[in-house]
Chains A and B, each alone.
Chain A
Amino acid sequence: MVTTNLAWNVEAAHAIIDRYRDQEGPMLPLLHALQHEFGYVPREAEPVIAAALNLTRAEVHGVISFYHDFRREPAGRHILKLCRAEACQSMGSEANARHLLDMLGLDWGETTRDGRLTVEPVFCLGLCATAPSALLDGEPIGRTDAAILETLAREAA
């Protein structure tokens, strides 16, 4: 499954913000929706959100930068999240991840040069009895090993 995102445009952003602005505590639902639409939360969105919610741009920036989920740059076409938490570590996740990152020439959070794949860390998917765990474009994968990760990375086209 390849995620296709809309390019940034202020009209689409306004439409999303209008959908949430009257909720109690609209900020997080709104940011999730913006990221869902554009694939990241563009900097251009900050003043638009600030104006709509009657906040300063600094406050909006502060919220976006606080949460690990919100991306400031577009990601690759596929996003592979690898769990780095203790339960997965106990089953060898760190060595598997290192193998994959080395193979792709990436560090955590980076995207392959062809824009195909982003590899991100995640701290626990709650799949701790079928470790090590991964999430490829939102699909969970349990009992992974270095070979499985390699296959996932190669097949994500």
Chain B
Amino acid sequence: MKIFIPQDMASVAVGADRVAVAVEMEARARNIPVTIVRNGSRGLFWLEPLVEVATASGRIGYGPVNADDVASLFEQRFFDGGPHPKCIGPVEQIPFLAKQTRFTFARAGVIDPLSLDDYRRHGGYQGLEAALSIGPTAIVAAVKDSGLRGRGGAGFPTGIKWETVARTPSARKYIVCNADEGDSGTFADRLIMEADPFMLIEGMTIAGIAVGATKGYVYVRSEYPFAIRVMEQAIDTARRAGMLGNAISGSTHAFDIEVRVGAGAYVCGEETSLLESLEGKRGQVRAKPPLPAIKGLFGQPTVINNTISLASVPFILAEGAQRYAEIGYGRSRGTMPVQLAGNVKHGGLFECAFGVTLGELINDIGGGTASGRPVRAVQAGGPLGAYFPPALFDTPYDYEAFAKRDGLIGHGGLVVFDDTADMAKLARFAMEFCAHESCGKCTPCRIGATRGVEVFDKMIAGIDRDKNLALVRDLCETMKFGSLCALGGFTPYPVLSALNHFPEDFAAPPLPLAAE
């Protein structure tokens, strides 16, 4: 009998390895033959460690399981789907999962991440097969037609990037996967790499064929040791199976991938800074133009895409651009893996078509706060994203709709705060983070962020409050329009949204009562 126990970093962080050891020992003691599959998480993190068993009526889940629960699970014959207080029934029927449209994350948590056979059995490499049969020009057309936009946050059409690289003649071109997922509240890239790494390999391979690149790099942040390990193993497996190397799947196309590890610099998630880092330099932002598509890594034409963007490609090729494009909202086509994080009851990954409202995501899907207190604010799109108050929960999840409300969807993270949140502190933190992570190349970011922290400190201490408030707004203006990249340019989003939507946190404290 097959028992699934996740091995992704988040599940291990809450005890999945201890559960796996306990299941193995208990099974041996009771002389019950079990096969433990270490899958990736399905992304329902409040249920992790989520133990699943394959039964005749589908996979039955138990969670969150502690090592202490294992003896009683065996007692109740959980391996046959038996009843237990931790039993949550058929996993696919959990509303959080049943309500999703899993295009990109269809296999996450279902398969053994490192089994190429498992990958193929669940639709893997069908996209590559289609890509090889239609050829480079049609691949680029399919990606354009799908409406896929950069999932790193900028939302630039992926197909246009590919077309530019395809049309730029060069003997050497690169595919670079941006897996420097530094935004707090996001873990979709991590889950792709830890739960379904061959999908990313397949997406990058298709990109390579489309633009004529033969070398790919996955730039993974060092904070993701599990993802690094899984990707390296998967690349090795793909290479040995002839799915990477000189003749991809027996074709005339050559493509290979290497994992490169970042070194704790948030700014390296910015594409030009990432390229500098890959070249072995300080991760300083480059001025554009030239675009990376024309002069990218080592001066060569380079496709640099976010992990989710590249991982979305196999589905588009396998199922057709139309199937992807037909769902969505406005100019945001297809699905987005929304990541519910922070102080939220049902935290996890929720892949759905664009257009769902922020309120539905936070309250209906996420179930409100984990603390049970009222939601005060939601930071959408990472540390450079705006804080939304519940009054704006009718905003549809869409690049343009968020921009219209002075926010951004970024990489899909939503961090929930309850009513104990101090918005002045959070606004100050945005400046502090920018100062900590600034690459130093442009003045508005390098100096502005440090000055921003100082001004907030004065304001919080009650010194010249109104004057300093005006100064912060002025500073934000300078950073927004004067910075070279999104780090300095977008830091004003969390700062100004906190000021605009939560002015009470910046007001002078009530005067102390006069002493008797």
Residues of A whose CB lies within 8 Å of any CB of B are 24-29, 31-32, 53, 62-63, 66-70, 85-91, 122-131, 133, 135, 138-143
Contacts and interface: CB of A to CB of B under 8 A. Distances in A.
Contacts, number: 152
12 contacts: A25-B279, A28-B280, A32-B263, A63-B281, A69-B264, A87-B185, A90-B416, A90-B421, A91-B342, A129-B341, A131-B341, A143-B13
B497 to A, nearest CB: 13
B182 interface: yes
B19 to A, nearest CB: 14
A46 to B, nearest CB: 14
Interface in B146-197: 181-187, 189-190
A87 B184 contact: yes
B426 A86 contact: yes
A28 B433 contact: no
A123 B433 CA distance: 9
Contacts of A24: 298
B341 A67 contact: no
A125 B263 CA distance: 13
A31 B10 contact: no
B280 A67 contact: no
A128 B187 contact: yes
Nearest to A81: B223
Given A27-B281, A66-B283, A87-B342, A127 B9 contact: yes
A87 B415 contact: yes
Contacts of B421: 90
Contacts of A69: 222, 262-264
A120 B342 CA distance: 21
A91 B372 CA distance: 12
Nearest to B265: A67
Contacts of A124: 182-184, 186, 223
A73 B143 CA distance: 48
B344 interface: yes
B266 to A, nearest CB: 6
Contacts of B104: none
Nearest to A125: B223
Contacts of B223: 122, 124-126, 135
Interface string B224-268: 111000000000000000000000000000000000111111100
A91 B370 contact: yes
Interface in B406-428: 413, 415-418, 421, 426
Contact of A129 (B46, B225, B282, B426): B46
Most B CB atoms within 10 A — which of A62, A68, A85, A142?
A85
Interface in B198-228: 222-226
B280 A63 contact: yes
A129 B283 contact: no
Nearest to B215: A24
B264 A128 contact: no
Given A29-B260, A129-B340, 7 more contacts: A63-B282, A69-B222, A85-B433, A87-B342, A123-B182, A130-B45, A142-B13
A63 B284 CA distance: 10
Contacts of B10: 126-127, 129-130, 140, 142
B91 interface: no
Contacts of B342: 86-91, 128, 131
Contacts of B183: 124
- List the 5 closest pairs (A to B, CB-CB), nearest first: A27-B280, A129-B347, A85-B184, A67-B263, A142-B13
A128 B280 contact: no
Nearest to B183: A124
- Most-contacted residue by chain A among B225, B263, B266 (CB, 10 A): B263
A25 B417 CA distance: 41
B339 A128 contact: yes
Given A25-B279, A67-B283, A127 B263 contact: no
B187 A129 contact: yes
Given A122-B223, A129-B10, A91 B343 contact: yes
Contact of B383 (A25, A70, A85, A130): A85
A13 to B, nearest CB: 17
Interface string B422-456: 00001001000100110100000000000000000
A16 B277 CA distance: 20
Given A122-B223, A125-B9, A28 B261 contact: yes
B264 to A, nearest CB: 4
B51 interface: no
Contacts of A67: 262-265, 283
Contacts of A127: 9-10, 13, 187
B343 A90 contact: yes
B379 interface: yes
A29 to B, nearest CB: 7
B48 interface: yes
Contact of A142 (B14, B184, B344): B14
Contacts of B439: 66
Contact of B48 (A25, A85, A86, A130): A130
Contacts of A28: 260-263, 277-278, 280
Contact of B429 (A87, A89, A133): A89
B314 interface: no
A88 B343 CA distance: 8
B263 A68 contact: yes
A63 to B, nearest CB: 6
A129 B370 CA distance: 10
Contact of A140 (B13, B45, B415, B418): B13
Nearest to A135: B223
Interface in B262-313: 262-266, 277-284, 298
A47 B268 CA distance: 25
